[in-house]
Structure 1
Amino acid sequence: MEEHDISIIGGSMAGFLAGISACENGIYPTIFEEHDKVGKFGKCTGVMSLNGMKSFNIDYKKCVSNYVNGAFIYFDDSEIKVEAKQDVASILYRQELDELLADIAVQKGCQIKTEEKFSKGIQENEKIKFKTNKGEYSTNYLIGCDGANSSVSANFDFPKLGKYDYAICNEIEITNITPRDKKKVEVFLDNQVLKGFFGWSVPVNEETMRIGFGVTDPLLFAESKKKFFEFKQIKPHLEKGKTLREFSYVIPINVRSQTQKQKIFLAGDSAGQVKATTGGGVIFGGNCAKIAGKVAALKTDDYELQWRKKYGSMLNTHRTIRKMLDFPNNFFLNFGLTGFKLLGGSFWLSHFGDMDFITNKTRIEVN
């Protein structure tokens, strides 16, 4: 049986950041990835805040396709325009970012084992023993960074999320079209068509967009897709453009009530460390993964306490805003957003808004 100090399940961004953090604190982990290559294969819209990306201290600019400075938020027949004086987010090629982090992890001292899928494990005293499709292992710490449908979470009986704590999403990348504004993301709020989540259109460059939507009820997915693709801002792009790829995925939009069992940690999507407002999990999940790697390396065993103290309240704020947006019908949603607009909401978001930490005045440093 092969022995390790730290084993990380999942070869994507959270797993690599956990591994890099462990290496920087003196322990060199092994990362297990079930596919024949690392990464999410681009199954990510790739909108990431510039402030948040700074926290990872990596040169990721070669992975950027575009920068944006705001958004058009559509509801009913109205819109709210949000525009900062400078760029606030980057549009990334996610697979390139994952591969960049994999290279950094290996350079730091991580070992990556591909085509090894976690199957089952048990905790015996101070050791965790687990199996993959290729072998048996013993480890002092196990960090599950294996996504929304985490096998680590299921195997070790972590509390489950609720039925509607996931957004079921579909996205199309389409080219030969012209975005309304290359510097603006488009957001669609409609609680009849897009119940529990929202729709989006993201400018990748001058002629390519990523158009997608999500709902929290799987039974509504097919009908929601049909209706969303008929929206007046979306339909012309689908009719004129050329589809490069289409994919579906699941995002957790609530945090698990427990993410640590002794020396077994969950980080990233597997822990639900995702903004419920947008489904963005890279910034919070990535920084929580860094904490997991450091805690395992230093053997302080206070991962849950550390990450909740640093990021828990802000993730709860995103969850509260999501609940506020989930009005039972569009009348109340439109009434609330119209009032927000009349009270200067566009100005407030443009000057004080922050994608991750809600407002610049409440922003905390991520490091």
Structure 2
Amino acid sequence: MKVAIVMSRLSNGGLERVQSHLAHAFAARGVDTVVAAGRVLHRHSGDFPDAVEVIEIARPGRFAFPFGLYRFLRQTRPDCLFTSSNDVACIAVVLKRLCFPRMRVIATHHLSLSGPIERATGWQRVKLLVVRTLMRALLGRADGHVAVTQEVASDVSAQTGLDPAHIRVIHNPIIGDDFTSRVAEAAPALPWPGPVIVFAGRLAPEKRIDLLVDAFETLPPSHDARLLIVGDGPQRAALVQRLAQPALKGRCFLTGFVANVFPWLAASDVLVLPSDYEGFGNVLVEAMACGIQVISTDCPHGPREILDNGRHGQLIPTGDATALRDALERTLSGQVRFDPAQLRARAAEFGIDRAAQAYLEIASAGVVPRTAD
């Protein structure tokens, strides 16, 4: 069986790490795997195994993507194609119907539809509404659907009319056999005596780093806490300016992009995910695997499911800096503490092997074995 993983772009975010984990697991099982990305903006050494070819198919830009995908499929002829975004799924279904009828298309839904649509404005909102219309018209013809959480599955079903019974929930593959060695890699020596609050992720508007900084700034000085921000993104410049203010200077540290977040998490005390919306929330699992405390907004559509309704971390309302400050105080004072062993056990449920096996079950359903030429 030959499997293709198709992305609109290859950058350095959580979605790309998920695809990398799957590619590694597929290749380890002897599955012929190829990755196609519209544009390869970033490829860190070791992201994909040597056995997996990564092909850039639309270097000129997004308008070249359908033609690039057609050429890629004609050359590689995969038995099954996994998509990673809604617009790519729509294009893949059209190409399957017109040119590649034997190929299975599995649409993987990593993000809710309602969350981004509700918060988008202008042309971005128009684009999302158009994509939703196309999904309603086309995705019923996909061979299968995967959602990364039950909440995402319910949202996609409500927004598109897809039968929820036809959407399989497979949690993101996060924890692999190399977890212990990755935690031990280049562990940072943080020069701070007090507790460390960490955020790790893309510095984008929906992540609400501003909310975290607001909450941190109002913490009582007695906690002597420091704020560590691991990541990069479009809000970096504004964040640097904010952290240079006298009340925050010397109390906050911004690392920029790091390839391996585990050592930074393990060196911290509590992770905060203050997002307005999430598709999953990979970093929550990564933090629990390191045994550190977790605070997350109860945003759609992932944290509540990952934290099992608050059994493994504090859930707070979205957009509420006061509630976040209070949650931080409860953690820093020891008033609320979750057993690190139970956090690690919960994180282990999001294993790479378990997810890869579930994906391959969907990929192989109905696939006719290839015959020798």
TM-score, length-normalised on structure 1?
A: 0.38
Structure possessing the higher relative contact order (Cα contacts under 8 Å, 6 or more residues apart): 1
Please give the TM-score of this superposition, normalised by the length of structure 2: 0.38
Between Structure 1 and Structure 2, the one with more helix by share is 2
- The answer to which structure has the higher strand fraction is 1
